[in-house]
Every structure is written in C-alpha cells, then in structure tokens.
Chains A and B, each alone.
Chain A
Amino acid sequence: MADTHERAEEITQETLGDGGIAEVGEHRSLWGDVWRQFRRHKGAMAGLVVVTIIVLGAFVGPIFYPHDPFDIDVPNANQGPTLEHLMGTDTIGRDIMARVLVGGRISLAVGFTAALLGIFIGTGVGILAGFFRRLDALLMRLTDLFLALPVLPLLLVIILLFRDSLRERFGPELGIFLLVVFIIGITSWMQTARIVRGEVLAIKRQEFVLAAQSIGTRRRNIIMRHIFPNVLSPVMVSAALGVGIAIITESFLSFIGLGFPSDFPTWGRLLFDAVPFLEIAPMRVIWPGALISLTVISVNFIGDGLRDALDPRLRSG
C-alpha cells in the first residue's frame, strides 16, 4: 500500500512539476514564472545556450586561444583548417579563428548597443505618443517619416558625411563604432514605437491607471510605475529581434566596405575581406557567415520564447 501511495505522490509531483500548485508559504514571483515558462520553450533554450557560447567565445575565448588575430605569417597563408589553425589562415597567414573570435566582440557589441538604442528611442516615442494625445499625431508622423526614408542611401550618406570627423574626435575604432551604433539605432526604432504606442493606448484606458490617479499619483509615476512595466513584454521581444537586425545591418555595412576598417575585424568585415578569395579558400566566407546566421537565429528564438513566457495567458499553467 505504501508503495502505491508513494507512486501516486511521485506521479502528482511529475505532472504538476514545480510550476504546479504553489504550496502554502511558497512564493512565486512574476519573473520566476516567466523563467519557468521560458524553460519550456525548447527553441528559446537552445538559442540561449548558443548565444551564451558565442558571447563567451568572443569575449573570453581570445584570452585562451593561442594565436593572435593580427600576427602575420606569410609562409602559412591560405591554409585550410588544420589542428594548428582550426579555421585555417587568410592570405597573409593570420589565424582566421582568432579573427572570428575577436570580430565577434565588435559585432555583438554593435548588435546589443544599437538594439538598446533603438529600443530606448522606440519605447520613449511610443510611450509619449500613446500617453499624451497632443503628441500622438506629431510623433506618429515622425515615425512614418522615418519608415518612409530609404534606409540604404541614408546609411551611405551619413557614413560618408560623418565618418572622418568622428574618427578624428574619438579615434578610428570608437568613432566608427559610435557612428554605426547611431545609424542602426535611429533607423530601427520605428516598429517598437508603433507597437508600444498601441499597447499604451490600451493600457492607459484600464482601470488600474484610473485607480493610480485616484490616489494622487503623479503623471510621471503613472507612466514609469504603471504603464512602462506593462509594455515590457513587447519591448523585450522587439529588443531580442532588434539585436538580430542590428548584427545583420552591421555585417552588411562592413560587407560593402563602409563599416569598420580591415584592421578591426568584425564578422561583416571578415566576409568582405574573404569574398575575393571565394574560389581559393571558400571556408573563409563560411565561418563568419555561419556565426552571423547562428547568432541571429538564436536571438530570434530567444525573442520568441520571451514572447510566450511574458504572455500571462500562456503562462497560466
């Protein structure tokens, strides 16, 4: 009998899991719930693992990797993958793996900072437009204006106009970094602004906003405490998607030769440098290309998982 009972307990435990009925005294926080739901999304978890590995590889990897990305070793140029050079070497014998790892730093840094900037502008514009009726028309037309701008020519013009002056002021690396982040940031906030505005319009009509007003909450605090946390879920999702887009845009800029100079490897720049040697050393194109795709896909999966995890209707279990 005791066995049956134990087995029953076990089954209950298994079916309910730790996300089942909360025991008395046990507390479930909102973010605990989100994490629990996120873990159930296999694609998102895989994405999280891949992104973690790539980020660690880019920022910690070069410390342990024996080759320097800038060491020139002409006799060993254009090698395929060997045990010594895991991804081979380029036309002047630099180790490709070392360059890919270091290149990831800039690509990822640009991706995350630019997405952050885009999210910041987008959320700000969206909240202001949604909350203040008077600003709505103005800000939304501004958003439409940005959406209507032909992004590619705009990028080229901005880079050609400002590259040299920024380089002089902040140095070649930081200058171009700031420029690229700025460009990607200001051309990628519009979707977020539209989504956030829509959410704010719905949320500000809800009774809890009225209730907050009825206890004398300042408008500033109504926005920051009551409205902002409620639009966090679409914001986080656009942030994740934004990272992917920013990484691709950076690669694209570097690929057409307008991003970082070749002494600062980024994934896009490595691609650019490798294209002329496509027939001699095809692997040189594949490594950075694969990493770009892998990162973007993983980040998108994370965004997908976040969306599901942050939606309370899907989280009820």
Chain B
Amino acid sequence: MADRRGSSEWLRRQDRSTQPARVAADPVLEVAGLTTRFDTLDGMVHAVNQVSFTVNKGEFLGVVGESGSGKSVTMMSILRLIPMPPGEIVAGEAIYDDRDLLKIEIDELRHIRGAKIGFIFQDPMTSLNPVLTVGFQIEESLKIHQQLPTEDRQARALELLELVGIPSPEQRLKSYPHELSGGMRQRVMIAVALACSPQILIADEPTTALDVTIQAQIIELVKDLREKFGTAVIWITHDLGVVAGLADRVVVMYGGQIVEEALVGELYASPQHPYTSGLLGSLPRLDQRGTELVTIKGQPPSLYQFPDSCSFAPRCPYAFERCHAERPPLLPISPTRKAACWWDVETGSPRDGV
C-alpha cells in the first residue's frame, strides 16, 4: 500500500503548486494572427488563416468545427508539430511564458513540449509505439524533462497509471500497447501527456476513436484531473454535446478561421454567427422527436484560395453584398464574446459601425 500513499502525497503536492481551476482572465497562452499553409502538389492549402485566441489559467476551452476546419492544424502549429515542409507557419505569434513559441529555437521549444504543454492525439491505437512497453513510454517524458533517479521515475509512472484509472498498474507498466484496449491506451496517452504536470493540455479529439461509454469515462477523467491540477485544457472536438458539458469557453472554427468565440452558456443560448446557429440547429433534440433535422446547405469551403470574402457566405441564409466582397474580422460584440460576421442576428440587419 506504500504506492497508494505515495500517490496521494504527490497529488497534494501538485494541488499546492498549481492555481485553482476557473481563474478569470489570466492568460497562459495567447495566440495572435496564426496563419499556416501547406504547399501541396495541388496548390497552396490555406489551412489556418489569422487565428487569434487566448487560453486562461485552468480554463477549459472547447474548439469545435467540422473536419478540415483547421482545428488540429492550429493546435499543432502552436507546438510546431506540423510537417515542415510541406507545412509553413507564415505569420502570427503564440505567446507562452513571455516567449513566442513560433520563433524560439527548436531546442527551447523541446523543453516546453511535454513539460509545459501536453498533447493527446486522436487515435490511441496508433499514438503509442507498438514495440515499447507502456512504462517506458510514460517514463520517456520524465526522462527528458526531469532529472530523477530511476526508482523515483518508475514510482511516478506507477502513480500516473493509477491516476488515470488503470487496474493493476504494476503489471500494465510492463505491457505492450497491443495488450491494452483502446480506452486503456487513451488513458496511457493521457498519463504520458500529464507526466510532467503541464500547464496546458491540448486534446485533439481524444474520444473520437472510442466508443460512447469509454468516451464518457475519459471525459470524466480529464474533468477530474483538471480540477485536481488546475491544468488548462484545449479540447478539440466536433461533438457539440461534449463541449456543452465540459467547456468554460468555446471557439468555433470554419474554413481555417475562428468565426465565433463565447462562454459556453451564451453560445448555446444565442449563437451570433449563422454557422454556429446552423451547427446547433442540426443537432438532434430529445424534445423534438419526429421533426426533420435542419442541415447547412452547400459544401465546406475550398481551402485552396485565401479567403478574401466570408468563407461561409455561399452557404449563409443572411449573406448580402458585403459578405461576398470583404472578409469579416473577428470582432468583440460583448465583453465575453466575439464573432466574425457582417450580419447582426440580434437586430436582423447588417452590423453597424464596422
């Protein structure tokens, strides 16, 4: 039982050293004007266009949008994890701890990856190295970022496995990934990402590849860990239901841009961007059985052209001349929210003064 005691002590230490969750407006990561493109054989793909957002300490930020809207590329660009070439970060900054992650030396960035900012990938089946034991892969991060004696490191790996709720962790440390189920592997991935107690955890659709019950368990686990450690979480998903239950704030992406940013309650109560309304309208609802689902007509935008008009205009029921001529910037419309739209759904007329 010595292990268990050790584990709870470690938790307490972490508690003291980190801020309590939900601290208002204390930015830990500030991204501004991030622009990433890929030079492919078919032409230039404008994957992320002038994306700006902030994450506050201990905050849970949901990032939603359909496939290809640039959610993952945005987050991977911040840690420069996109393959370069063909990828290229053309402009922007990502300020963490007074340093611009997009400009610092790769060696300096290496000390932030994993240690300060953890990353969980979408598919737990392919994110673990099949020929290395689970224990080795958890310890790897500790080896890189912390000078610990081997026994301490092993103890920590054990604590982490226990923390993410893996039964008989002593044996699992020696297991290979193929011996674990998908849910267990995702827990291992979370343990790897959390090994050095990072300040920010970026989760790239971590539950998409899992079945619904396991999804719920993983979500509960991340919620728990966040409360315990005060880690800020950026949760990328296309599941609006998950975001509603988890996030403090939500960012909606479309065509490589942020189209709306709001506190989670506000967003669901009164979406300000026609795309957000469309998304919420297309959700099946328990209280409206039998009615046909609303769809957003048309196709997602082609990313081969740099958007000089509103990317959503061709599909937008409210679009007028300005939408086809000028790209709306992401502008604050209240102290807590921003939207990139020329149309004001509140007044039912074009937005004034912008």
Residues of A within 8 A of B (CB): 22, 25, 27-30, 133, 206-208, 210-218, 225-226, 229-230, 232, 312
Cβ contacts under 8 Å, A217 to chain B = 110, 140, 144
Give the 7 A-B CB pairs with smallest separation, nearest first: A215-B114, A214-B119, A216-B113, A216-B114, A216-B110, A207-B126, A215-B141
What number of residue pairs across chains A and B have CB atoms under 8 A from each other? 80
CA distance A145 to B305 in the complex (A): 43
Other-chain residue from A29, A206, A213 in contact with B126 (beta carbon distance below 8 A): A206
The answer to whether A216 touches B132 (Cβ under 8 A) is no
Given known contacts A214-B119, A216-B145, A207 and B130 CB-to-CB distance under 8 angstroms: no
Contact with A along B126-155 (1 / 0, CB 8 A): 111111100000001100110000000000
Closest CB in chain B relative to A229 CB, distance in Å: 4
Number of contact residues on B: which range applies? Answer: 35 or more
Summarize A's interface: helix, strand, loop or mixed: helix
CA distance A28 to B179 in the complex (A): 9
Q: Nearest B residue to A208 by beta-carbon distance?
A: B129
Interface-forming stretch among B43-51, B170-178, B223-231, B261-269? B170-178
Closest CB in chain B relative to A203 CB, distance in Å: 10
Return 15 A-B CB contacts under 8 Å, by A number: A206-B126, A207-B122, A211-B189, A212-B129, A214-B113, A214-B118, A215-B119, A215-B144, A216-B110, A216-B113, A216-B145, A217-B140, A218-B110, A225-B132, A226-B132
Contact with A along B81-100 (1 / 0, CB 8 A): 10001000000000000000
In the complex, whether B123 has a CB less than 8 A from a CB of chain A is yes
A208-B129, A218-B144, A232-B131 are known; give 15 further A-B pairs, CB within 8 A. Answer: A27-B171, A28-B179, A30-B131, A207-B126, A207-B127, A210-B81, A211-B119, A211-B121, A211-B189, A213-B81, A215-B118, A215-B141, A216-B115, A216-B145, A225-B129
Q: Nearest B residue to A233 by beta-carbon distance?
A: B131
Closest CB in chain A relative to B187 CB, distance in Å: 14
Other-chain residue from A25, A213, A225 in contact with B171 (beta carbon distance below 8 A): A25
Closest CB in chain A relative to B19 CB, distance in Å: 23
CA distance A212 to B140 in the complex (A): 9
Given known contacts A211-B128, A230-B130, A225 and B140 CB-to-CB distance under 8 angstroms: yes
Q: Nearest A residue to B136 by beta-carbon distance?
A: A225
Cβ contacts under 8 Å, B111 to chain A = 216
Q: Give the interface centre of A22, A27, A213 by most chain B CB atoms within 10 Å.
A: A213
Q: Nearest A residue to B122 by beta-carbon distance?
A: A207
CA distance A207 to B208 in the complex (A): 15
Cβ contacts under 8 Å, A211 to chain B = 119, 121, 127-128, 189, 192
CA distance A216 to B132 in the complex (A): 17
CA distance A77 to B322 in the complex (A): 107
The answer to whether A213 touches B113 (Cβ under 8 A) is yes
Cβ contacts under 8 Å, B130 to chain A = 208, 230, 312
CA distance A209 to B193 in the complex (A): 14
CA distance A31 to B193 in the complex (A): 28
The answer to whether A216 touches B144 (Cβ under 8 A) is yes
